[in-house]
Structure 1
Amino acid sequence: MRLTTKGRFALTAMIDLGLQGGVKPTPLAEISERQKISLSYLEQLFSKLRRHGLVQSVRGPGGGYRLARPMTEVSVADIILAVDEPIDATLCGGKEDCRDGERCMTHDLWAGLNERIYEYLSSVSLAQLVAKQREERVAVLKDQRKASGKTHPEPAVSV
């Protein structure tokens, strides 16, 4: 199995969207700028994410995208599969015709790996990834304060 930029970028963009809090729609141009992902590529990915019910689009001024479901109900597997990224380590795509139309000797090994990968990616929610990013940002802010010698608390920074 090889995770391509399609899956990686879709996941990155969804984490970014989750970090925005979902109160107001987020324009793809903002995600594109923050994550350094081509706007046209994001438009293609979000079209697929919308068709799979992971995001909602809001048209007009102040429009953009927001999550269609709670982050706890969206798994990494949901996102990857929505953008047509296969979770498959077999050479045959699960058809069992890997070796000149016949099943190869290692088919069961790779099929078992597919199951484990899918189970793992299904067990990780978007909410967990967003929470981890928020924790890391807080840690970076604390380190920056310590390095600058500031000891007094500063106002909370919204992320």
Structure 2
Amino acid sequence: MKLSTKGRYGITLMMDLALHQGEGPISLKSVAEREELSEHYLEQLIAPLRNAGLVRSIRGAYGGYVLSRTPQEITVGDIIRVLEGPITVVEDPNDELDYLWEEVRKAINGALDSFTLADVVERRKTGDDNFMFYI
């Protein structure tokens, strides 16, 4: 499985929202500045996250985005599946090896679902600069 920038930046976006939870709605501009990401790209990522019910948008002059659930209730797998689609290992499986690819797919999903957004935020807070390599 290869994780694209959609998945990596989506996790970073959600992590930033979790880090600033309780501060009111967070603008994508402020996320882009803090995380050194393109605001335009974040705009493309936020729509599917909102449609999936992971974030809520708040309108108005002081509007922005907030998490729809607590960071403990959102898994990295939730974010990845919304932005990257279902986890697949091979495009055209060989019937003789279907069982193997299914087990690999289950293992990847299990690993992604074992990390919550709260876990990722905690690793960042503790200064683990390599936290994204665990995902």
Q: Normalising by structure 1, what TM-score? A: 0.75
- Corresponding residue for 1:124? 115
- Corresponding residue for 1:24? 24
- Corresponding residue for 2:2? 2
Residue 100 of structure 2 corresponds to residue 109 of structure 1 = yes
Aligned mates of 1:23, 1:36 — CA distance in 2: 20
Aligned mates of 1:14, 1:84 — CA distance in 2: 15
Aligned mates of 1:112, 1:32 — CA distance in 2: 37
Structure with higher helix content: 2
Q: Normalising by structure 2, what TM-score? A: 0.87
**What pairs with 1:9-158 in structure 2 (closer than 5 Å)?**
9-92=9-92, 98=93, 103-136=94-127
Deviation at 1:73, TM superposition (A): 0.4
What amino acid is aligned across from residue 118 of structure 2 in structure 1?
A: A
Aligned mates of 1:49, 1:22 — CA distance in 2: 19
Greater Cα radius of gyration, structure 1 or 2 = 1
Percent identity, please: 39
Paired residues, what number? 128
**Unpaired segments of 5 or more residues in structure 1?**
93-97, 138-159
Hey, which bits of structure 1, 4+ residues long, moved more than 4 A? none
Deviation at 1:22, TM superposition (A): 3.1
SS at 1:80 equivalent: helix
What amino acid is aligned across from residue 2 of structure 1 in structure 2?
A: K
**Unpaired segments of 5 or more residues in structure 2?**
129-135
Q: CA RMSD in A?
A: 1.5
Equivalent pair of 1:22/1:67 in contact (CA under 8 Å): no
